[in-house]
Structure 1
Amino acid sequence: MRVGDLDFAPITTATDLIAEPVRAAVQRHGAHGLWVSPIDPDLADTAEFCAHYGIGLEMSANCVIVEGKRAERVSYAACLVLATTRADVNGVVRKRLDARKASFAPMGTAVSLSGMEYGGITPVGLPEGWPVLIDERVVAQGRVIIGSGLRASKVLAETASLTALPGVEVLGLVKPG
């Protein structure tokens, strides 16, 4: 399947292009609606990726790991938003985590807990029990390009496949205005 200047193959035919936690999730939950394509890892960051491969920002979705704290309790969630928007970490996400304070997880924490490369973190294959919060604008796209767990590839995902993942909640995740 071709999108922009990339040719995507069914994810099960190119498992060497996805991180181990993603591979395990695909084996557990199936691969329907997921394709993968290699990319230049130096172009994994969204703006450079979209410009180089001829893909609109509105088709690209970013997954960020948020850390919430209340007293001694620390909790994590993944947030998936379109590249043209930003997650409301201090409002919607903080409340959903029942946290006093919420912020983007430090890079080292996000990488070690997810088992994925920074810049390639994806909602597919995250630790069990983490809420995966997907903005309703992502779902409305029908298909989006997300990380693969590695910087050297991207996944094309039908949003129905993403909403079927364990722990997924679809909500208005972007701050209005």
Structure 2
Amino acid sequence: MRAPIGNFTDARPAVDCLDLLVRPVADAVRAWSGDIPVEQLIHVDTDPEIADTAVFVEHYGQGLLEQSANCVVVAGKRGAESTLAACLVLSSTRVDVNGVVRKQLAARKASFASMDAATGETGMEYGGITPIGLPADWPLLIDSRVVDTEWVLIGSGRRRGKLIVPGKAFAGLPGAVVLAGLGISAA
């Protein structure tokens, strides 16, 4: 199979390689029920040693920067109460934590979650966190530009391997809220 984007030598439907995914991601793929057929979730093998965005794009395809998205875990705090959420934005942008996220979570303060909290709560590896397989009760804040992108490269739950997913599929994930302006210029 040929990946719809990028220059990957090993591309297969994610449902055919569940053993390469961490348990929460494999479970989510196994139970997939969105409007997009599960066979359109593509797993590509990637080298974890070249996961840095600039090196990754140079190796796997120059157009990938505009077609890649980062999933980050954030914590919103209001008094003693803390809420974990995930944010999905294009790799060419950064998450507006102090504006859109804080407002959406009705939090007094919002920040990126610690690495231990992000990996411990998701069951995923740091640097590979993906919106597919997150805890179902978490808000999943998605920048509208991600949903409008035909094919999006995201983490697979591990540092090795990525998923390529139709952008419109993200709007159907548990807890998904599509927001304009969640991703702001990284410059």
| Structure 1 residues 39-50: aligned runs within 5 Å | 39-50=46-57
Partner SS state of residue 158, structure 2: coil
Sequence identity (%):
51
**Which among 95, 120, 123 is matched to residue 115 of structure 1?**
123
1:32 to partner: Cα distance = 4.3
List per-residue Cα deviations over 1:75-99 (Å, max 9, x = no partner). 0111110011111100000111111
Contact 2:147-2:169 within 8 A present in 1 as well: no
Query: What does residue 157 of structure 2 align with?
Result: 149
What is the total number of aligned residue pairs between the two structures? Answer: 177
Unaligned runs of 5+ in 1: none
Determine the C-alpha separation between the residues in 2 that align with 1:66 and 1:113. Answer: 12
* Counterpart Cα distance in 1 of 2:42 and 2:75: 29
Aligned residues of 1:45 and 1:119 also touching (Cα < 8 A): no
| CA distance in 1: counterparts of 2:142 and 2:122, whole angstroms | 17
RMSD after superposition? 1.5
Unaligned 5+ residue runs, structure 2?
A: none
Per-residue CA distance 1:86-116 (angstroms, 9 max, x = gap): 1110000011111111011011110000100
- Report Cα offsets for 1:15-43 as digits up to 9, x if no partner: 12211100011122242421001111112
Output the CA distance in 1 between the equivalents of 2:53 and 2:118: 18
Q: Quick one: which amino acid aligns to residue 22 of structure 1? A: V
What secondary structure does 2:102 align onto? helix
> Could you tell me the TM-score, scaled by structure 1's length?
0.94
Name the SS for the 2:29 alignment partner.
Answer: helix
Aligned pair partner of 1:52 in 35, 59, 71: 59
Q: Which of 21, 35, 38 pairs up with 2:45?
A: 38
What residue number does 1:5 align with?
A: 7
In the TM superposition, what is the alpha-carbon distance from 1:8 to its structure 2 partner?
A: 1.9
